[in-house]
Structure 1
């Protein structure tokens, strides 16, 4: 697995935006990736970023129905990445003005 394939997209929710103040960033990652892969990928993707720790969560799909048909939304893996104090911040929305 390539490092560019590990981190898929940032998770933009109210809870994850509150974590940015504590230097915690939330990403959706490949389900096969482990904590070491995620740390290496984040440090390679963003310049000057040092990762202190990585917490991972496997999120199960929710039960959904459309009329009489039932199914599940897709499963995914979520990683909460905590940065060190001397690390640069990650700019998720481009340059801040």
Structure 2
């Protein structure tokens, strides 16, 4: 597979030339470089790539009084979690001082 040096699009062969269908750039084919390209049979399948979970480590801090009786903190980390099967989200709070957790929907 050859990619265009001008725009980065995948190039296609036309005779002895690689042609970019996006920008029209043309390059002569190099048989030695093409022989070094890996064929699909020689490639290794490592499985599906890992997908980032947007709900993890996405906390923010805000001014919110802690409801714990023995805590005077007015700062809490929070994260928004989609409610299963629902059309709204739940805000989960964690006090930055005592670690008390509570939710608001």
Which interval holds the TM-score relative to the shorter structure?
A: under 0.3
Structure with greater proportional helix content: 1
Provide the TM-score with structure 2 as the length reference: 0.22
Q: Which has the higher contact order (CA 8 A, sep 6+)?
A: 1
CA radius of gyration, larger in: 2
